[in-house]
Homo-oligomer: A and B are copies of this chain.
Amino acid sequence: MAEIHGRPYAMTGRGPVLTPCAPHDVLARLGDKWTILVMSLLSLAPGNQLRFSDLRRGIRGISQRMLTLTLRNLERDGLLTRHYFPEVPPRVEYALTEMGRSMLPALEGFTAWIRSNWPSIEAARAAYDSRGEPGADGT
């Protein structure tokens, strides 16, 4: 079956028909509230490694709970490793895996598109919103 963005589809007389598939999983995770922040922060850190409290400090507004959940998800996906040191006080180091490191440059290609088109997107939003607020209907 043919694919687009890793998603199988069948072509019919009235157009293609898609079926749900894998890449959405990754994009959904990156699209959540904190994941990219965590990945970006680790990619900047020396050795691509930071401890819990450093991550928390580096991401303004993240709660302890959400940082933990975000890190668990990334660990589960094999994008980072968690190393626990049973000292007093305890210390936990989070480091990007090889796969985690390889993701950032790939993502960077797409965020480059976002950055260069962001002004257009904001302009389109402003235009759309100003069109909608007066009495003008969308027809």
The answer to whether A88 has its CB under 8 Å from any CB of chain B is no
Q: Closest residue of chain B to A90, judged by CB?
A: B139
A16, chain B: closest CB distance, angstroms: 4
* Tally of this chain's copies: 2
Q: Is the interface of A mostly helix, strand, loop or mixed?
A: helix
**Which of under 10, 10 to 19, 20 to 34, or 35 or more describes the interface residues of A?**
35 or more
Identify which of B31, B59, B60, B99 contacts A29 (C-beta below 8 A).
B31
Q: Given A6-B114, A36-B5, A139-B86, answer yes or no on A76-B18 (Cβ-Cβ < 8 Å).
A: no
Are B43 and A4 neighbours in the complex by a CB distance under 8 Å? yes
Given A18-B60, A31-B31, A76-B129, 4 new contacts (CB under 8 A): A5-B111, A17-B57, A28-B31, A77-B121
